[in-house]
Amino acid sequence: MMEAMNVHFICRGNVLRSLIAETYLKSLNIKDVEVISSGTNVNWNDPQERKYFAHTLAVLDRHGIKSFAKSIPEQLTQARIDANHDIVVLMNQRVVDEASRIVELPKNTLSWAIIDIGEGHRTDAKGRESYEEEIYQEITRKVDSLFSDQSIIDKVVDMDSRQSNLKRMDNVGIVVESLDEVVSFFEELGLQLEGKGIVEGEWAGRVTGLGDQSVEVAMMVTPDGHSRLELSRFLTPPVVADHRNAPVNALGYLRSMFTVEDIDDTVARLQKHGAELVGEIVQYEDVYRLCYIRGPEQILIGLAEELKAGTTDK
């Protein structure tokens, strides 16, 4: 075991899954291991959340470890990530997605697959007590496994100390025929036009391998400022191939996925710009509603709406 280790468990409301993980690990009294937990969507003013917190304390009490539990849930912040980052464990992919919009997650992040109450097969309101016990058993097994396997700890900690030249992903590029039409489409989706101009000259062709070239470029940015889409219209040399009508199982197929507030409203607005559903709007469990659509020039994008029900650990 290393000299000291900080562990950070993250779920959604910090009233069930990450609370159990933090409390159980504290109860093990492992030397030089410090642990905290956080939630991506803590709402301590909600009486229902307080009720769920009390339910979890009752579970911990049944297992004789309630005395190790904290008194209130805590919101995930960048400061908490920065201060406790030897191992960061997120309870499932939905938590990863939400946390990524709040903080910059470190490289040494683990994602488990602990289904929350209200998700997947845990949707029966009458089964809450049994679900809580199931989750307790799942998490304690996970914690035991994590700290009994030194190779996992060494691998995760090494990820944080290893130097990497990669800083970020800057943008995704799409070659189009009508720049104005495609820009209008993505503006309707919610992206903003960050800049527009001509990229030309021998230097640019040395990057692309096309020789002397002239390309009209528009850079679109998402509202949070984190993701960009580079739209390019080749003036010279001319376009030599067209893959826009290729099906989604074609090699080299490309699509961008966007999270929206209201998928039905978004689809309706984009259809006014010529967009068409590829298949249909489909609900994935109680987590997302999803669809693929083709916009102008058959550009393929995906849309995802996070469902409001069960938005915090319950």
**pLDDT tens, residue by residue, 58-105:** 999 999 999 999 999 999 999 998 876 678 999 998 899 999 999 988
Residue 144 in this model has a pLDDT that exceeds 90: no
What pLDDT score does 151 carry? 47
The pLDDT assigned to 285 comes to 81
Contact between 255 and 249 (Cβ < 8 Å): no
Return the DSSP state at 237: S
Is the domain 246-314 a CATH 3.40.30.10 member?
Answer: no
310, 286 contact by CB (below 8 A): yes
pLDDT at 241: 83
pLDDT of residue 149: 54
Decide: 233 and 179 in contact? Cβ < 8 Å: yes
- pLDDT per residue over 1-49, tens digit each? 445 678 999 999 999 999 999 999 999 888 888 899 999 999 999 999 9
Fold classification of 5-161 (topology level): Rossmann fold (3.40.50)
Whether residue 160 has pLDDT greater than 50: no
3-state secondary structure labels for all residues of 100-149: HCCCCCCCCEEECCCCCCCCCCCCCHHHHHHHHHHHHHHHHHHHHHHHHC
Per-residue pLDDT of 252-308, as tens digits, reads: 778 889 999 999 999 999 999 889 999 999 998 888 899 999 999 999 999 999 886
CA–CA separation, 33 and 231 (whole Å): 49
Per-residue pLDDT at 161: 47
CATH topology of domain 168-239: 2,3-Dihydroxybiphenyl 1,2-Dioxygenase; domain 1 (3.10.180)
8 Å CB contact between 60 and 17: no
pLDDT value for 150: 53
pLDDT, mean over the chain: 86
Q: Which of residues 97 and 244 earns the better pLDDT score?
A: 97
Rounded to two decimals, the pTM is 0.52
In the chain, which residues fall in CATH 3.10.180.10? 168-239, 246-314
- Scanning the chain, the segments in alpha helix (DSSP H) are 17-27, 47-62, 78-83, 93-100, 128-148, 150-161, 179-189, 202-208, 263-271
- Residue 162 pLDDT > 50, yes or no? no
Which residue bears the tokens 């199982």?
249
* Per-residue pLDDT at 190: 93
Q: Given this model, what pLDDT does residue 1 score? A: 42
Smallest CA-to-CA distance from 303 within 281, 271, 285, 287 is with 281
What are the tens digits of pLDDT across the range 192-225?
Answer: 998 899 988 888 888 888 888 899 999 999 887 7
Would you tell me how many other CB atoms lie within 10 Å of the CB of residue 227?
Answer: 16
**How far is it, in rounded angstroms, from Cα 13 to Cα 217?**
42
The long-range contacts involving 167-170, CB below 8 angstroms and separated by at least 24 positions, are: 170/228
Pick the most confident of 52-56, 169-173, 242-246, 251-255.
52-56
Q: Residue 147 corresponds to which tokens in the numbers above?
A: 């700290």
